[in-house]
């Protein structure tokens, strides 16, 4: 049985910073990545598509199974919904420069789902 990892991505810059190391983590566990970009209703899709394209390119290069998801909605409830829908084993979220992922997002996810949530430290390169 394959491990499934949910990766929410907030845009092209975080994707450029994190995609390679997340993909290599997935490869080392023979895991599948479910990469989701969540936007607000009416928000431009350009940045989300760029982020997903970065993950797609790196996953193909690293030979990692992956699914790309474009979603619209509130961040925490959409992450929870995608985790359940895709039957993932772990969620890995990235911190942003100089701060962690918003505490209320993590609190809401962790109190509403029974799978591990890993916060990936911010990386400058």
User: Which domains are assigned to the chain?
Assistant: 4-120 (3.40.50.620)
Which helix H or strand E contains 22, and what residues bound it? Answer: helix 12-28
The structure's pTM equals 0.89
23-77 pLDDT per residue, tens: 999 999 999 999 999 988 888 889 899 999 999 999 999 999 999 999 999 989 9
Terminal alpha carbon distance of the chain:
33
């Amino acid at each position: 049985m394959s491990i499934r990892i949910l990766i929410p991505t907030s845009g092209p810059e975080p994707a450029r910073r994190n995609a390679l190391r997340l993909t290599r983590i997935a490869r080392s566990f023979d895991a599948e990545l479910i990469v989701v970009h969540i936007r607000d209703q009416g928000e431009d899709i350009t940045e989300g598509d760029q982020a997903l394209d970065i993950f797609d390119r790196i996953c193909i290069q690293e030979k990692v199974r992956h699914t790309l998801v474009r979603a619209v909605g509130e961040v925490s409830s959409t992450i929870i919904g995608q985790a359940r829908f895709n039957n993932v084993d772990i969620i890995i979220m990235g911190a942003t420069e100089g701060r962690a992922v918003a505490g209320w997002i993590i609190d809401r996810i962790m109190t509403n789902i029974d799978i591990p949530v890993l916060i990936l430290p911010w990386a400058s390169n």
